Structure 1
Amino acid sequence: MIENLFTHFPDAVAHQEAETFEALLTAPNIKIERIISTGQSTPPDTWYCQDECEWVIVLQGSAGLRFEQEAQTRILYPGDFVNIPAKCRHRVEWTDAKGPTIWLAVHYL
Structure 2
Amino acid sequence: MKQSAIISNIFELPFQLPLEELFEPLLSTKDLLIERIISTGQTTPSGEWYDQERDEWVILLQGEAKLTYETGETYQLIAGDYLLIPAHQRHRVNYTSSEPPCIWLAIHGDLS
The TM-score, its normalising length taken from structure 2, stands at: 0.88
Q: Show the counterpart of 1:52.
A: 54
* CA distance in structure 2 between the aligned counterparts of 1:88 and 1:10, rounded to whole angstroms: 34
1:4 pairs with one of 9, 13, 33: 9
1:61 maps to what in 2? Answer: 63
CA distance in 2: counterparts of 1:34 and 1:60, whole angstroms: 12
Q: Which residue of 35, 42, 45 corresponds with 1:43?
A: 45
Gaps of 5+ in 2: 1-5
Superposed CA RMSD in Å reads: 1.3
Instruction: Count residues in correspondence.
Output: 105
Structure 1 gap ranges (5+)? none
TM-score (norm 1): 0.90
Shift of 1:99: 2.3
| Pair 1:53–1:10, CA change in 2 (3 A) | farther
Q: Percent identity at matched positions?
A: 48
Shift in Å, 1:17: 1.1
Q: Which residue of 2 aligns with 1:21?
A: 23
| C-alpha displacement of 1:81 | 0.3
**CA displacement at 1:74 relative to structure 2:** 0.7
CA deviation string 1:55-85 (max 9, x = no partner) = 0000000100000112x42100011001000
Could you say which residue in structure 1 is the equivalent of 2:100?
Answer: 99
Contact 1:73 1:93 in 2 (8 A): no
SS of 2:84 mapped into structure 1 = strand
